[in-house]
Homo-oligomer: A and B are copies of this chain.
Amino acid sequence: MGLIRSWVETANGAACPFPLNNLPCGVFSQGEDEPRCGMAIGDFVLDVAGLEEAGLLVLPGGPLLDVPFWNEVMAAGPEVWAALRARVTALLVEGAAERAAVEPYLVPLTEVALHLPFLVSEYTDFYAGRHHAFNVGTMFRGAENALPPNWLHIPIGYNGRASSVVVSGTEVRRPWGQVKGPDHAVPAFQPSRRFDIELEMGAVVGVPSEGPVTVAEADAMIFGYVLLNDWSARDIQAWEYQPLGPFQAKATATTISPWIVMKAALEPFRTATPAREVPLLPHLQEPGPMLYDIALEVALTPEGGEETVLSRTNYAEMYYSAAQQLAHHTTSGCPMNTGDLLGSGTISGPTKESRGSLLELSWGGKEPIAIAGGTRSFIEDNDTLTLRGACRGAGYTIGFGDCTGKVIPALADPYAR
């Protein structure tokens, strides 16, 4: 399938991240107006909440867009998602009869602020990148114990903190935490010195479940995907993570892209997970390709400096898909809800240039990497980190919007009042 041409001219460029094929879901505001649901098209956001209010967009079981988050649409399920896309496509397609009626609902992207696109119910973070798991395991436990024995059999993950999820553009304050180096007799409480990113994709659960679901059912529950930066304080993590896993090291912030790309927009880019090194048990086997070919990159920009792209990789590097992760998540009977967010785990490729964290890129700080005008082992104050993702189709691109965050200095005294 090629580009679907729109009467919104800027949507038709091959490099535009928001062609009519995409129609990602966000929440925007203009000036002092209340936030509302919109979909990106070309250089604009389409005020779909306004279209629904005006009767130009009628959804089964609606109104569903009269709230400043996408959860009601997400919960409504695949038929409503398809109806939404079909109707908005009909309104925006080249030659659409409703063009004059729809034009007033286009707002230039340069004039809006973007907000969290959905209410995050719970947040789970996985560890499903083969190269990342091996790299980090080697640094934390040595090469011989790098890959935990369970890793090839289940998509291991941990529950993260939903309250930490913020939208792209939100500043991230360097955290304090308890740390203890191997050479220190007692721990210290201090600002993190090894603050890091993790390049991930996030799967957004639409349809809730009770009880175990199959991988195919899990795939059908997913509404769409976001870019996700799982900010990580490596020094805090190293001290706290045994035996119960990461906790405060991952609780400062988790930044997501402003746009949820719906599964339908990603459909042409489906791809299979890599060959299994050992067979999976039947309940975790994929009935079809469940990953996506999404080119990803990480860029760092020091304050007042020039951007350096630190890493380029692809979501197709993952060993487990979000559908497999979600299916595993339900095996115990764990109820899943609309708005649950599943982080893929850090997406590192096989080469040094495709690693998805500074921990890996600088090999635990031992091999600082070159950036424009300097070097980096971990994030320094006032660095801006940006994740980008793109599916490249025939004559069009599917984008998520930048997933960006500037790291501001730690509080001088976290308990000063």
Contact = CB atoms under 8 A, between A and B. Distances in A.
Interface of A: 121-122, 127, 137, 140-141, 148-150, 153-154, 156-164, 173, 175-178, 180, 186-189, 211-212, 214, 233, 236, 239-249, 251-253, 278, 281-283, 328-329, 331-337, 411, 414-415
Contact of A214 (B122, B331, B415): B415
A301 B161 CA distance: 36
B160 A159 contact: yes
Given A211-B411, A242-B148, A187 B332 contact: no
A378 to B, nearest CB: 16
A150 B127 CA distance: 23
A252 B176 contact: no
A229 to B, nearest CB: 15
Contacts of A158: 158-159, 244-245, 247
27 contacts: A122-B161, A149-B180, A153-B180, A156-B240, A157-B247, A158-B158, A158-B247, A159-B159, A159-B160, A159-B161, A161-B334, A163-B334, A175-B331, A176-B331, A178-B281, A187-B281, A189-B331, A212-B414, A212-B415, A241-B243, A241-B244, A243-B245, A245-B245, A245-B246, A248-B329, A251-B329, A251-B334
A243 B332 contact: no
Copies of this protein, total: 2
Contacts of A127: 244
B156 A244 contact: yes
A254 to B, nearest CB: 11
A239 B150 contact: yes
B163 A247 contact: no
Contacts of A240: 150, 154, 156
A331 B173 contact: no
B283 A335 contact: no
A203 B411 CA distance: 28
A341 to B, nearest CB: 13
